[in-house]
Structure 1
Amino acid sequence: MKLSKDQIEQLKRMISKKGYVHIDVQYEILDHVACKIEELLEEHPTLSLEDAFKKVHSSFGIFGFSTLEESYMRSIQSRVKKYFWQEMKDFLTSYRLLFPILLGLLIYQASLLLNDPKAWVLILSGFLLLASIGVIFPYWRKFQRLKNYASFTTSTNLFQLVNFGIICCLYSYQWVYKVPQGTDYLFFHIFQGGIILVMVCFALSIFILPRVLDKSIAETEALKRVYGE
């Protein structure tokens, strides 16, 4: 038997009560559950929808629908990583690569004008901190609008990269610009080189993160049009 619209809405509420609050996760689970419930009700017409739901839920084992949720989340994470590396490849092979190159030349020229060979560290840190704010602020507002969708909230894990970059910017003052005394150790130079490498990678990422997030937003908006609120 086919489930009615009211029965579908009841199933969505039952799934939500199980702790799956993201709308797209609910529909992902619903796609798997509805068919099994239809088969159960076909075999046992007197069975209530709630009892059928309990039977289907128990058939997934002790973890219930968590396996479906985890599978969906992994697919999103895999898709976001694919977007990131594809955008990075496109960026490195397009004219947009000129932007960080020009930025590097400007920072180097500023260091010469300031007559301070290490001033580039502070200038680059300042640029990255301002750029981070420029990325986080507009997408944080979009997060408030799309936070009910796992397809968007999962992609915001990219902000961990921003957080790591900001931490390296803060460390750069002490460990690169203002070199502590007694630092003729191999470990220090490795650590210093690591900070510089992360800052450079972070600077490149700033140019592609908005494009990756925009793709995620476009997918979420498409889901929103299908699923509604």
Structure 2
Amino acid sequence: MEKRLTNQQIDQLFTFTKKHYVEHYDVQVELVDHLANAIENQLKENPNVLFEEALQTEFKKFGIFGFTGLVEQKQVELHKHYNKMIVNELLKFISIPKVVVTIILYLALFFLLKRTGKLGEIISLAILLLSFIYFMVDGFRFVSKIKKQQKIQGRSWLIQSVAQSVFSLPFIYLTGFGFSLISNFFREDRTSELSVLGLNVFIVFILIHVLTLYIFSAIIKPRFLQSIKETEKRFQFA
């Protein structure tokens, strides 16, 4: 007769994964399922083996870093997936037909800033600053929503952790570069308008900023929310 693990032993496996720094419930379930199958196989071969002994035998197979390596591997895979998605969405704007929209936006900004001079630059900077604030507030609300879900459910998912991490990257980059650009505009020794090169750099930054904001708000965030919803549904009765 095939020996199956008891509910108490399954609970012990969940406790064991938590003790070894596996925070996310979906990863815990995957590990517990793997460990349970492996231990049952050991019991099939040797019915006299003790549960704890069988568990330690399987745990040693994960190496000196234990479950940490597996969790990090899964995080890297998810990061790669979403980073690739972001790059692909950005590349769409330099391929037909969206490249036409990009060129039109670029030319419109170039001639507008050329005509309005320093006043146009200041207005553009003000709009950029407002968009930074919007991006910061939107990101904060997104992360807060995830944390609220975790608190209500008493569980967290790996996809939630990756979502928080991925969503912070563009804000850090664009804000750092943007405020550096803004401080350059308001240097005490700067009295003239931007050179043609400086104007082009400024416009390219605006376009990248606008496109990144659009991609994260309209595409990436809904994808994350959908993935989180699907994960919750998958583990609803687990």
Q: Superposition RMSD on alpha carbons, in Å?
A: 3.7
- Specify whether residues 87 and 6 from structure 1 end up closer, same or farther in structure 2 by C-alpha distance, changes over 3 A only: farther
Aligned to 2:193: none
Partner Cα separation in structure 2 for residue 84 and residue 207 of structure 1: 11
8 Å CA contact 1:107, 1:123 repeated in 2: no
Partner residue of 2:208 out of 201, 207, 215: 201
Structure 2 residue 170 is the aligned partner of structure 1 residue 161 = yes
Question: 1:139 corresponds to which residue?
Answer: 142
Distance 2:115 2:201 in 1: 24
Q: Which residue of 2 aligns with 1:185?
A: none
The 1-side partners of 2:202 and 2:11 are apart by 52
- Across the two proteins, how many residue pairs are aligned to each other? 223
Specify whether residues 11 and 195 from structure 1 end up closer, same or farther in structure 2 by C-alpha distance, changes over 3 A only. Answer: farther
Q: Is the 8 A contact 2:86 2:220 kept in 1?
A: yes
What is the match of residue 215 of structure 1? 223
**What TM-score, normalized by structure 2, do the two folds share?**
0.74
Instruction: State the alpha-carbon separation in 1 of the partners of residues 131 and 209 from structure 2.
Output: 8
8 Å Cα contact 1:146/1:153 also seen in 2: no
What TM-score do you get using the length of structure 1 for normalisation? 0.76
Q: Aligned to 2:5, what secondary structure does the other structure show?
A: coil
Distance 1:90 1:62 in 2: 43
1:128 aligns with 2:131: yes
The whole-number CA distance in structure 2 between the counterparts of 1:128 and 1:141 is: 20
Does the 8 Å contact 1:162/1:202 carry over to 2?
Answer: no
CA distance in 1 between partners of 2:229 and 2:12 (Å): 24
Maintained 8 Å contact 2:112/2:120 = no
Going from structure 1 to structure 2, the CA distance change for 1:49 and 1:96 (only over 3 Å counts) comes to farther
Given that 2:143 and 2:164 are in contact with CA atoms closer than 8 Å, whether structure 1 keeps it comes out as no
Q: 1:3–1:192: structure 2 CA closer, same or farther, 3 Å change rule? A: farther
Report the more deviating stretch, 68-77 or 40-49. 40-49
* Identical pairs, percent: 18
CA contact (8 A) 1:168 1:195 kept: no
Unmatched 5+ stretches in structure 2? 151-155, 191-195
